[in-house]
Amino acid sequence: MRVLGVDPGLTRCGLGVVDGSGGRTVKAVDVGVVRTPVDAPLEQRLHVVATEVAAWIARHRPDVVAIERVFSQHNVRTAMGTAQASGVVALMAAQAGIPVAFHTPSEVKAAVTGQGRADKAQVTAMVTRLLRLTDKPRPADAADALALAICHCWRAPMLERMAAAKARSDELAKAHKARLAAVAKGRT
Amino acid sequence: MRVLGVDPGLTRCGLGVVDGSGGRTVKAVDVGVVRTPVDAPLEQRLHVVATEVAAWIARHRPDVVAIERVFSQHNVRTAMGTAQASGVVALMAAQAGIPVAFHTPSEVKAAVTGQGRADKAQVTAMVTRLLRLTDKPRPADAADALALAICHCWRAPMLERMAAAKARSDELAKAHKARLAAVAKGRT
């Protein structure tokens, strides 16, 4: 499975492509960062991010695009820009017919370092080690994008099992409800 | 000037096209709302919004797309979805080469009703009156989109004057700085 991880942002948007083998082995394919000028109009900045992400999708043909789930806990203005960028990234995936998965920062940190409150340096160090890179990916947004892709490679089988279990339980609940309705009808 | 006003959202995205004459006279051209299913994947919902907005831009060829500026004061989850939708709308404008303007809800309310804390019913009533509509636009998102477009028609000349004044003052400051530097250089 090939995953394009995206750490969305307007000033810096991290992109990382990772191949997963099904097991724990992961391989780095490409990593980079898109920058847009702070003083450019918002729609132009989004346009640059969208164009670059579409180019990465066309070049690497990922099976999934994994995007960091944005929370507005910190600076509201920054969080809004990040959310707008993440929407544009998700749209590029949809336009290419590729499914999107969202993972929270703590899910990514927990997957890669074993603990959800790891700092940036720990995440970068683990990403470097897991992908057997000779140099640390820079800036941190690029390392975060690779971490997201790794996180998705590892969580995907579990998420699929959960989705299958949910579908099965929904089906059982539906059948049970139908049976109850039939019994009730038989009584009247 | 033709303005496409957009009240961004995933469940309901309001769209309203208004022609402004330069004075206070405004004319409704089209109004509508895009709905996306709550249980669809986020990227699919964004895709529906993007496709519809692009179709409206192609059909009505607005000079500007005016979008409501999102704040995350209320529900964080909803605010994030709204921000993602607004990013996608801004991107559609950028892809069509059309400038984007953002107005806050209170700027819109103040422009249309005369006070920034007007409620939805007051905004709808004023929009109906200003555009001389026979029926109130429904749902509220559609009325909000028209209000945004009217707001932009009326604020645009003022915003342009402010931008021109800012450019002029930046130029004067630059010239003044250059003169100071030349004087300082003459002294050494």
Please report, for residues A71, B65, B117, B126, B134, the alpha-carbon distance to residue B111 in angstroms, rounded to integers and kept in the order given.
32, 17, 11, 10, 22
pLDDT band at B5 (very low <50, low <70, confident <90, very high): very high
Residue A185 has pLDDT above 90, yes or no: no
The CA angle B100-B103-B104, to the nearest 5 degrees, is 145
pLDDT band at A164 (very low <50, low <70, confident <90, very high): confident
Interface predicted TM-score (ipTM) of this complex, two decimals: 0.85
Reply yes or no on whether A7 is catalytic: yes
Q: Is residue B181 part of a domain?
A: no
B49 to chain A: closest CA residue: A91
What does the pLDDT read at residue A131?
A: 97
Q: What does the alpha-carbon distance between residue B44 and residue B36 come to, in Å, rounded to a whole number?
A: 9
Contacts of A4 in chain B (CB under 8 A): none
Helix (H, G, I), strand (E, B) or coil at A18: strand
Q: What is the DSSP letter of A138?
A: S
Find the range with the poorest average confidence among A43-47, A65-69, B113-117, B131-135: B113-117
For the record, the structure tokens of B146 come out as 């028209």
Phi and psi (nearest 5°) for B184?
-60, -40
Reply yes or no on whether A144 is catalytic: no
What does the pLDDT read at residue A23?
A: 83
Helix (H, G, I), strand (E, B) or coil at B147: helix
Contact A99 B43 (CB under 8 A): yes
A100 to chain B: closest CA residue: B43
Q: Is residue B139 part of a domain?
A: yes
For residue B70, give its domain range. 2-157
pLDDT (tens digit per residue) in A117-132: 999 999 999 999 999 9
Q: Is residue B89 part of a domain?
A: yes
What does the pLDDT read at residue B72?
A: 60
Using CB atoms, pick whichever of A44, A87, A94 lies closest to residue B83: A87
Q: What does the alpha-carbon distance between residue B54 and residue B95 come to, in Å, rounded to a whole number?
A: 9
What does the pLDDT read at residue B62?
A: 98
Q: How many residues does chain B have?
A: 188
pLDDT (tens digit per residue) in B29-62: 999 999 999 999 999 999 999 999 999 999 999 9
Q: Is residue B168 part of a domain?
A: no
What does the pLDDT read at residue A70?
A: 81
What does the pLDDT read at residue B75?
A: 67
A101 contact partners, CB below 8 Å, separation of at least 6: A64, A65, A66, A67, A152, A156, A159
What does the pLDDT read at residue B73?
A: 59
What does the pLDDT read at residue A79?
A: 84
Q: What is the CATH number of the domain that holds A130?
A: 3.30.420.10
What does the pLDDT read at residue B26?
A: 96
B89 to chain A, minimum CA–CA distance in Å?
9
Q: Is residue B102 part of a domain?
A: yes
pLDDT (tens digit per residue) in A84-119: 999 999 999 999 999 999 999 999 999 999 998 999
Q: Is residue B76 part of a domain?
A: yes
Say how many C-beta atoms besides its own lie within 10 A of residue B41's C-beta. Answer: 15
Q: Is residue A181 part of a domain?
A: no
Q: How many residues does chain A have?
A: 188
Render the burial of B93-116: b for 16+ CB within 10 Å, e for the rest: bbbeebebbbbebebbbbbbbeee
Q: What does the alpha-carbon distance between residue B143 and residue B125 come to, in Å, rounded to a whole number?
A: 9
- Total tally of structural domains belonging to chain B: 1
Q: Is residue A144 part of a domain?
A: yes
Phi and psi (nearest 5°) for A26?
-130, 145
For the record, the structure tokens of A88 come out as 């544009």
pLDDT (tens digit per residue) in B71-107: 765 667 778 899 999 999 999 999 999 999 999 999 9
Most confident of A117-121, B131-135, B153-157, B160-164: B131-135
Helix (H, G, I), strand (E, B) or coil at A182: helix
Binding-site residue set of A for Mg(2+): 7, 68, 141
Mean pLDDT, all residues of chain A: 93
